[in-house]
Structure 1
Amino acid sequence: MTQQPVSLPAKLINGGVAGMVGVTCVFPIDLAKTRLQNQRSNHQVYRNMMDCLIKTVRSEGYFGMYRGAAVNLTLVTPEKAIKLAANDFFRHHLSRGEQKLSVFKEMLAGSGAGMCQVIITTPMEMLKIQLQDAGRLVAQRNVAVLPALRLGGARAVLSCSYSMGPPAPVRRVSALQITRELLRTHGIQGLYKGLGATLMRDIPFSVIYFPLFAHLNALGKPSGEESAPFYWSFAAGCTAGCMAAVAVSPCDVVKTRLQSLSKSASEEMYSGVMDCFSKIVRKEGPAALLKGAGCRALVIAPLFGIAQVVYFVGVGEFLLGQSPFTLYGP
């Protein structure tokens, strides 16, 4: 019996569900990654990922670890759906007349998927970073204030600038407020700040991830016609995601710095990708380009492992199979 081809709507549902499940599981680590990438060497607020998460919970509460999660959960559905469905679409069209895709064509399909997803990824990351980084900026100001207050006496307080005072709370700002302000001041291009850096990150990531996952997953297939077990797909997704994430980590640091609109007075401003890259290397050293690389690997590995399992389980096929409408392709 010939297996019925899966329609695009089913692929989109699978990608969307996969993205939501994955993001919910790993978002706190993603918040730590953003804050670690944005802090400068001369203003260390967090020592590592665990220190960042502990300080976040203490100062902002448990839900402080999920600042910006609503944006991700809203936009990750179309983002992951586009990414996974576009890769399948390009692989299908590039494989016409061939039983097996060459590595070059697999990389080509991956690059096409990476280019398609930035339509959603760039504004999603732009808004998420503003919300995630707000707590770091407040913590940085408080680190400068508290030592002076602890010294005691009027002399210590008077020696501070007039802007200093009791530790400031994290200012609550919504994604909608940020969006309105960006549209008012910069138009639609305001939401696409850092587009070049996002392309530099996402295209190489997809070029590495999708072919690597396909080959690792194929090793777990009992035979050519059968699918790999779900645990093998999970492990293949985790491995491929981890390796691709670390490989493009410098581009992710540059993208995060460019998309951070709120900066302290001592933090550098950047005019573009090359300016950001050169200033980071010159002022903080080459190692700064790998800030948050461990966190990013911990985010991407389970995210794509979960995504691939949900995708291959076929949630979309199940839902559409129960639908009274005929949404499957011929």
Structure 2
Amino acid sequence: MAQQPISLPAKLINGGVAGLVGVTCVFPIDLAKTRLQNQRGSQRVYKNMMDCLIKTVRSEGYFGMYRGAAVNLTLVTPEKAIKLAANDFFRQRLSTGELKLSVFQEMLAGCGAGMCQVIVTTPMEMLKIQLQDAGRLVAQQRKFPVLHTVKLGTASPVLNCSYSVGPVSSTRKVSAIQITQELLRTKGIQGLYKGLGATLLRDIPFSVVYFPLFAHINKLGKTSEDDEVPFYWSFISGCVAGCTAAVAVSPCDVVKTRLQSLNKSANEDTYNGVADCIRKIMRKEGPAAFLKGAGCRALVIAPLFGIVQVVYFIGVGEFLLGQTPFNLYSV
């Protein structure tokens, strides 16, 4: 069966809409994941995901669970659009006119998608983590007032004004725009791409595992070659593949989160690259530290990619472009 050419604009729209819907649904769990990954054993503020969410609501209000969501929602559209469209693009280029690809070709297409998406993923994660982790540092200062000093990886005055020192701290909100401007002023464009290597180490293996696994599980939902896969099966396939890939690369996500966290309390380590981060975590916290937040990450990624795949396969982009008076669908 010959493969139909993809419509790149439609796939970009599908990926963007899917990302917006998915992130809106699971963002509070993602916030809990970031805070759990960043806390050290000696200064634990949160016991688990539910404890983190409850304490966040109590101290920061309901919208505290969506701290950093604006950055994520703004950039997740191009990120998911690039990821999903790139995978489709590479799958089509690697095929030889037949619909079926070998597992190696599917993994290669996923690798290409993972490499493309970090253009947007790295600065998005960089900004999101600063905003998500602010509440943890304030809560930590309240619980451990003697350790009230905050170290800043960038010596940034904008980031420095986020926290006041003393036994009881309060957060002076800093926007993603302020952080971006300060990073660009002090570090240049590379400031926004801190942790790029760790992001690549996470996103390439994730895509290599996720896309082939999703394709094979999703194919099981077909009763015959000509049948469409039911939307609920696409959701289940996205959840299973996403959860599996998320847990598999969770250690890389911990390293990435630690490297991209600019604000640290007095006794928290700073890291000089991926190798230094891995070495210090292993020596001071043990192997179990690499699985911090793994449960939260699985709970984020599973429904996120389930929702993404349903929206993607429904064909929102094809529908929208089909309503226009221009022939954009065939571009």
Shorter-chain TM band: over 0.9
CA contact (8 A) 1:134 1:171 kept: no
Write the deviation string for residues 222-257 of structure 1: whole angstroms up to 9, x where unpaired: 211222100000000000000000000000000000
Q: Distance in 1 between matches of 2:40 and 2:177?
A: 28
Q: Cα deviation per residue 1:91-124 (whole Å; 9 max; x = unaligned)?
A: 0010124341000000000000000000000000
Structure 1's unaligned 5+ residue stretches are 147-162
Amino acid of the structure 2 residue aligned with 1:25? C
Match of 2:244 in 1: 243
Query: What is the match of residue 324 of structure 1?
Result: 325
Structure 1 counterpart of 2:324, one-letter code = S
Partner of 1:264: 265
Residue in 1 aligned with 2:160? none
Contact 2:35–2:136, Cα closer than 8 Å, also in 1: yes
Whether the 8 Å contact between 1:6 and 1:328 is mirrored in structure 2 is: no
Contact 2:130 2:263 in 1 (8 A): yes
Question: What is residue 301 of structure 1 aligned with on the other side?
Answer: 302
Shift of 1:3: 9.7
1:78-227 superposed matches below 5 A? 78-145=78-145, 165=166, 167-227=168-228
Q: Which residue of 2 aligns with 1:154?
A: none
Q: Is the 8 A contact 2:11 2:85 kept in 1?
A: yes
The offset of 1:26, in angstroms, is: 0.1
Residues 126-169 of structure 1, C-alpha deviations (whole Å, 9 max, x = no match): 000000000000100000139xxxxxxxxxxxxxxxx9745222
Q: Report percent identity of matched pairs.
A: 81
Q: 1:163-198 CA deviation, whole Å, 9 max, x = no partner?
A: 974522222110000000100000000000000000
Structure 2: distance between partners of 1:138 and 1:99:
53
Q: Which residue of 2 aligns with 1:160?
A: none
Preserved CA contact (<8 Å) 1:241 1:297: yes
Cα distance, 1:257–1:171 mapped onto 2, change above 3 Å: same
User: Which structure is larger by alpha-carbon Rg, 1 or 2?
Assistant: 1
Q: Aligned equivalents of 2:165 and 2:17: distance in 1? A: 46
TM normalised by structure 1 equals 0.92
Whole-Å separation in 2 of the counterparts to 1:7 and 1:164: 54
Residue 68 of structure 2 is aligned to residue 68 of structure 1: yes
User: 2-side partners of 1:126 and 1:233: how far apart?
Assistant: 31
Query: RMSD between aligned alpha carbons?
Result: 1.7
The whole-number CA distance in structure 2 between the counterparts of 1:321 and 1:3 is: 21
8 Å Cα contact 2:14-2:316 kept in structure 1: yes
Match of 1:149 in 2: none
Counterparts in 2 of 1:103 and 1:324: CA distance versus 1, 3 Å: same
> Residue 159 of structure 1 corresponds to which residue in structure 2?
none
Structure 2 portions without partners, runs of 5+? 147-163
Change (3 A) 1:98 1:3: closer
Q: Distance in 2 between matches of 1:303 and 1:100?
A: 26
Whole-angstrom distance in 2 between the partners of 1:222 and 1:304:
23
CA distance in 2, matches of 1:15, 1:253: 26
Q: Secondary structure at the match of 1:145?
A: coil
Taking structure 1 as reference, are residues 3 and 38 closer, same or farther at Cα in structure 2, changes over 3 Å only? closer
Cα distance in structure 2, aligned partners of 1:237 and 1:165: 46
Distance 1:140 1:317 in 2: 48
Instruction: Give me the whole-angstrom Cα distance separating, in 2, the residues matched to 1:56 and 1:291.
Output: 18
User: Is the 1:32–1:49 Cα contact (8 Å) retained in structure 2?
Assistant: yes
Q: Is the Cα–Cα contact under 8 Å of residues 114 and 204 in structure 2 kept in the other structure?
A: yes
**For the Cα contact (< 8 Å) 2:34–2:257, is it kept in 1?**
yes
Report the CA distance shift for 1:99/1:21 in structure 2 as closer, same or farther (over 3 A). Answer: closer
CA distance in 1, matches of 2:282, 2:128: 25
